[in-house]
Amino acid sequence: MPDALRPPLTRLGIAPGRLGLGLGLAILLLFSGIWAISGRLDLPAPEAMDLLARLAPPSATHPLGTDHLGRDLAARILAAIPVSLGAALAAMAAILVIALPFGAVAALAGGRVDMVMMRLADCVMAFPTLVLALAVIGFLGASLEASIIGVVVAWWPSNARLVRALVMSAQERDFVRAARLSGASRARVVLRHILPQILPPLAVLVSLETASILLALSALSFLGIGAQPPTPEWGAMLNEARPFFAEAPHMLLAPGLAVLIAVIAFNLIGEALRDLLDKREPYRW
Amino acid sequence: MSKAPLAVRLALAALPLMPMAAWAEPTLIVAVKADRYSVKEDRFTFTTRRPAAQIAETAVKPDASFNPGPLLFKSWRYEDGLYIVTLQEGITFSDGTPFDADTAIASLRLYDKNRSDFLQLDQSSFEKRGAYEIAFRSEVASALVIENMTHRGTSLFLPTDTLTENPIGTGPFVLDSYAPKQQITVRRNPDYWGEPPLVETLTFRFIGDDTARMLALQNGEVDVIGEVTPQMMLSMPQDGSVVLHQSRPIRYAALMFNMQGNAPFDIAAKDLTLRRALGYAIDRATIATVLYGGFGKPATTILPGWMFDLGDDHAMGFDFDPELSKALLAEAGWLPGADGVREKDGRRLSLTMVAAYPNVSTVKPMPEMLQQMFAAVGVEVAIVEVEDSGVYNDTYFGPGAADMFLEFASNNNTDPTYLLYNVFTTMSPWGYAVTSPGGNVDALAKASRVAESREEVVRLVREAYRSIVDDHAATIPILLVPNFSLSRPGLSVPMSEYADWIDYGNVELAD
Amino acid sequence: MLRFLLIRLIATLPTLLGMSFLAFAIVAIAPGDPVMMELRAMGVVPKPEDIAAIKAEYGVDRPFLARYVAWLGRAVQFDLGRSVATGRAVTSELALYLPATLALSVSALIGAVSISLGLGLIAVMAGPAVSAATRALTVLLVSIPSFWLALLLIHAFVLELGWVRLIGDGSLPDLILPALTLSLGAGATLGRFVYERVRAERCEDYVRLAIAKGLGPMRILLAHIAPRIIGPLATAWANTLGALLGGAVIVESVFGWPGLGQLILQAIGQRDFPVIQGYLVFMGLIFFATSLAADIVVVLSDPQLRRRLSDA
């Protein structure tokens, strides 16, 4: 390819994929970095109320302003990092714990077992994810744990389907067949040949799904049925900010941006990984 | 669906052309939270409850001290288990049928079809004694039937086959249109027997979201908001674009302790000193300034003093005294631990608080504020917020799965024993044994239900409520809160402590 | 084709059955008793025999499986029971809310498809800088929380500019903001999909052949690539429509849009079990209908598959 036709970034030796990956990882590092040093920042406790400074706009004492109880928004947003991101990662981990074995077993067993397992997943997938999560939480009682469970219940089947598709296509590769024909044990085939193959696309999946789970969890908290006050959580902060959004928009802006940036980070990483894994180059016209 | 708004738009366009006509036919749009009407025959609430409780009237209506006063019943007496009633004369239903002994009995009979019949009338006892005189008995020999007839749910409808589509009553308004879950419109009854209402047509729009309701008012899309949550009052614009109307304080916000004492929620049940200490730890004045637009009153009693003439001092209650609170905790053996949370015999003083009945938005952000106040005296509180009274009852309250329950409720009935018996005794049919002290309170409540005179009833009820707060500290009063509505400037809304009795038909449209 | 439809329908029967069982079970195991709540709200002190009568009326005194079978028997005759809260048939409750949700979902789908084609094609066709910018925009739109976007739009267009009313009545101008909110997110997700599919096709040999023949990019895109991706795209659109119908809960609640999302939020709040069950079953049926429609498009758009089906 003539040099002049290449995208400018590529000319500098930076693939757009790498840029996205770098950016996404940098954002996540930034979040964890800020959280790590937040103890040393001179911020009030996230639960501390200053009823005289309610709904204060951003100022020197309160860099992001205060909420309706005079709590420092900056302190709350920082304190929410482990809660909001932690909940999303925990939900993703739980989904993988269900979806990985479920999808893999379905794909490896094939035939009737596969069919029954997939029909089972279909039954759950027929319901709108958010509504299913809502129903589950409605019956468990609102809490962060309940919203994680709700999201796991609603999200696992689509992930199980994707895992199954990945394992199926990995199984079809020539060297996997060869390994099986040469008498390698089933466990060996799975661990040595299939797993390494599905890991990269799985990383893409996990990253993109974490983004969507983060959105779902914050939406549930926004509805007031996720994290319980006074636990700082971005979605819950938005829920608390809602009645004041005409007079104190600063309450709405900061937590919303926090969710947005975190979701962007996961999406960037996912897309960038996919670009990097996709070795094929489109023909130029 | 789109016809009505077109008509509205045309009307608005025509407004400058005929200002006189616009004044002659004032319309009022009231935003309310949800359409809770049931058209089911045996659980019929369509237009009997708020907001559109304007079509049918009740037999009697509550007066200023919550005693029943005449409305469709002109006078009544109760002798040997028999109620003898003289009806108001000269009243017709909106279809022209006269209201007399026959139609009154037919209307009252309608209530036996209804599962939610709490009048408990003996259907075989109805007796026509004259053109305008009837008599009946109570199924359960209750002396409080007339008291219960102040409930809007007992509104008298003419029994017709089309009751659920077109209810016919004697009220100031008749049904104009009903789009389920969207809006209901009533218009003035031209033949109303009483004083004609000021408003010509009343439209109630169902807008579920609190913020949306508030913005609709600020945007001029509605005139009045009928259901106001404390969050809405917190965010109420202070520039005069929204006006608040309120009744006398009626609802109590109170903390009820789990008195059952099933582990692990057994700390409070056995420890009167602890319960009293928590009572003194609450800074009611601060809560009152933050919540309910500053219109709530720090409470020493569960019910307001004006109700049944109980008197403001019928219980002493608790002041805000953190030092006394700490001293009481220490006296009870709860000593500060390493992280500031008190401990006794290795057990942390950590309590679970469920907020709230009927849902948490009625008291927000009180839970967080209480948590901070309790933390200040060394008591750790975990908050469970519940948006739904079903979850509240079934998951937490029923099984007694918390140490404290925050409730926001009222005695919305002219029967003085009603709330006491159902919410503060171990005989409660609603499961309130969990938070009831039992013993003398149960005895007082039982005695009040069979007392000879209303004075005696009220004396016993007063003593029971005093004992609950002062002797047992089983329930700690926090605030007494009025009923609120919000409107655009220039309206005066005739408020009532009964939400069902707010007289939207007589909202005055000042110029 | 008819045969294919028939087989496809029969194949979904077990899933439908499983789905209905799930819908029934989810609700049956839930705590909370709507009847008791209503009685309490009315200020009624129920007697044990009243409660027993109500339980018998709702059939909750019978064993779980028997209740399910009876419920299913009525459900196949489109009798989903009566709403505990309103006394109306569940089907008429659904019918009350369906038009608003359909209007919102369909207009959001149209918006999303247009946005996705725009974003996806620009990302594929434009120069590197524009392409990168478009993809960045896509990531931004995919990542933005819908409820937050809704609030920002309300702030801008209702409070600041005053261009639209907040409390709509279901008429067309009121549709703009909620439909825009929904279609931006869904459109970006679909746009990402369009980009990926077209990019993948561009790696295929037939494209190289077409380029070698000297065909222009537009020609290749429309005549060669489009027929191949229409199947997967249709599937994605069908899934998006299903997701919009069910997933508009939050946007509907923020805008006060009188759609099915409001119905289900209320029903969960009021423990209106027949409505929750009916809603879940209805959404399941929608899911099957849209995926069936997508399958038909896939078959129709694939000449090979079509031939194989007609041969068989």
Considering only residues 357 to 416 of chain B, which have any Cβ-Cβ distance to chain C shorter than 8 Å? 387-391, 393-395, 412-413
Q: Of B243, B245, B219, B275, whose CA–CA distance to B435 is shortest?
A: B275
Residues C36-93: tens digit of each pLDDT: 655 555 555 566 666 677 667 666 677 888 888 988 998 888 888 888 778 889 999 9
pLDDT for the residue A13: 44
Q: What is the mean pLDDT of chain A?
A: 86
Residues B82-99: tens digit of each pLDDT: 999 999 999 999 999 999
**Residue B285 in contact with partner chain A when CB distance is under 8 A:** no
Name the minimum distance, in Å, from the CA of A55 to any CA of chain B.
10
- B382 contacts: CB under 8 Å, gap ≥ 6: B350, B351, B352, B353
Q: How far is CA A178 from the centre of its chain?
A: 37
Name the residue in chain B with its Cα closest to that of C47: B429
Whether the per-residue pLDDT at C149 is higher than 90: the answer is yes
Beta carbons of C287 and A127 less than 8 Å apart: yes
- B20 contacts: CB under 8 Å, gap ≥ 6: none
Contact (Cβ atoms closer than 8 angstroms) between residue C194 and residue C120? yes
pLDDT for the residue C39: 59
Which of A260-274, C37-51, C221-235 is predicted least confidently? C37-51
Whether the per-residue pLDDT at C147 is higher than 60: the answer is yes
**Residue A47 in contact with partner chain B when CB distance is under 8 A:** yes
- In percent, the amount of chain A with pLDDT more than 70 equals 93
Name the minimum distance, in Å, from the CA of C2 to any CA of chain A.
23
Q: How far is CA B43 from CA B111, B206, C42, C85, C272, in A?
A: 10, 21, 10, 9, 14
Of A218 and B25, the structure prediction assigns the larger pLDDT to A218
Whether the per-residue pLDDT at C21 is higher than 50: the answer is yes
Residue type, position B320, single letter: F
**Residue C155 in contact with partner chain A when CB distance is under 8 A:** yes
Q: Which tokens sit at B65? A: 């001290």
Positive or negative torsion for Cα C82, C88, C91, C93: negative
Residues B272-319: tens digit of each pLDDT: 999 999 999 999 999 998 888 788 999 999 999 999 889 989 999 999
Which of A245-249, B186-190, B353-357, C275-279 is predicted least confidently? A245-249
CA distance C111 to C77: 36
Residues B95-132: tens digit of each pLDDT: 999 999 999 999 998 876 654 456 778 888 999 999 99
Beta carbons of C256 and B387 less than 8 Å apart: no
Q: What is the mean pLDDT of chain C?
A: 82
Q: Scanning the structure block, which residue is given the tokens 């006074």?
A: A230
Structure confidence at residue B38 as a pLDDT band (50, 70, 90)? confident
The residue-averaged pLDDT of C187-214 equals 87
CA distance A47 to B369: 10
Q: Scanning the structure block, which residue is given the tokens 């589509």?
A: B165
Among candidates C31, C96, C158 on the partner chain, residue whose Cβ is nearest the Cβ of B181 = C96
- C216 contacts: CB under 8 Å, gap ≥ 6: A285
**Residue C216 in contact with partner chain A when CB distance is under 8 A:** yes
Strand blocks (E) in B280-369: 297-298, 335-336, 342-344, 347-348, 350-357
Name the minimum distance, in Å, from the CA of A256 to any CA of chain C.
6
Structure confidence at residue B16 as a pLDDT band (50, 70, 90)? very low
* Best-predicted range by mean pLDDT (A163-177, C58-72, C256-270): A163-177
Residues B467-500: tens digit of each pLDDT: 999 999 999 999 999 999 999 998 999 998 888 8
Considering only residues 273 to 302 of chain C, which have any Cβ-Cβ distance to chain A shorter than 8 Å? 276, 279-280, 283-284, 287-288
**Residue C39 in contact with partner chain B when CB distance is under 8 A:** yes
Sheet with strand B335-336: strands edge to edge: B335-336, B342-344, B347-348
Q: Using DSSP bridges, classify how beta strands B27-32 and B201-206 pair: parallel, antiparallel or unpaired.
A: parallel
The residue-averaged pLDDT of B425-448 equals 91
Q: Which tokens sit at A252? A: 């709405």
pLDDT for the residue C166: 67
Cβ atoms < 10 Å from Cβ of C177: 24
- B402 contacts in chain A (CB < 8 Å): none
* Best-predicted range by mean pLDDT (A94-108, B204-218, B440-454): A94-108
Whether the per-residue pLDDT at A263 is higher than 90: the answer is yes
Cβ atoms < 10 Å from Cβ of C208: 15
Contact (Cβ atoms closer than 8 angstroms) between residue C16 and residue A127? no
Which of A265-269, B113-117, B138-142, B414-418 is predicted least confidently? B113-117
Q: How far is CA C233 from CA B52, C198, C228, C236, in A?
A: 50, 11, 9, 5
CA distance C160 to C170: 22
Q: What is the mean pLDDT of chain B?
A: 86
Cβ atoms < 10 Å from Cβ of A71: 26
Residue type, position A154, single letter: A
Beta carbons of B118 and C166 less than 8 Å apart: no
- In percent, the amount of chain B with pLDDT more than 70 equals 92
Whether the per-residue pLDDT at A223 is higher than 50: the answer is yes
Cβ atoms < 10 Å from Cβ of C215: 16
Structure confidence at residue B8 as a pLDDT band (50, 70, 90)? very low
- Three-state helix/strand/coil letters over chain C: CHHHHHHHHHHHHHHHHHHHHHHHHHHHCCCCCHHHHHHHHHCCCCCHHHHHHHHHHCCCCCCHHHHHHHHHHHHCCCCCCECCCCCCEHHHHHHHHHHHHHHHHHHHHHHHHHHHHHHHHHHHHCCHHHHHHHHHHHHHHHHCCHHHHHHHHHHHHHHHCCCCCCCCCCCHHHHHHHHHHHHHHHHHHHHHHHHHHHHHHCCCHHHHHHHHCCCCHHHHHHHHHHHHHHHHHHHHHHHHHHHHHHHCHHHHHHHCCCCHHHHHHHHHHHCCHHHHHHHHHHHHHHHHHHHHHHHHHHHHHCHHHHHHHHHC
CA distance B295 to B302: 17
Residue type, position C150, single letter: A
Burial C144-156 (b: 16+ CB within 10 A, else e): bbbbbbbbbbbbe
CA distance B108 to A49: 55
Whether the per-residue pLDDT at B22 is higher than 80: the answer is no
Among candidates A141, A142, A247 on the partner chain, residue whose Cβ is nearest the Cβ of B237 = A247
Residue type, position B263, single letter: A
CA distance A225 to A130: 12
Name the minimum distance, in Å, from the CA of A84 to any CA of chain C.
14
Q: Which tokens sit at B198? A: 């000021």
Name the minimum distance, in Å, from the CA of B260 to any CA of chain C.
21
Contact (Cβ atoms closer than 8 angstroms) between residue B119 and residue B145? yes
Beta carbons of C86 and B180 less than 8 Å apart: yes
Contact (Cβ atoms closer than 8 angstroms) between residue B277 and residue B377? yes
Q: A59: which DSSP letter?
A: -
Query: Phi, psi (5° rounding) for residue B89?
Result: -95, 160
Beta carbons of C268 and A138 less than 8 Å apart: yes
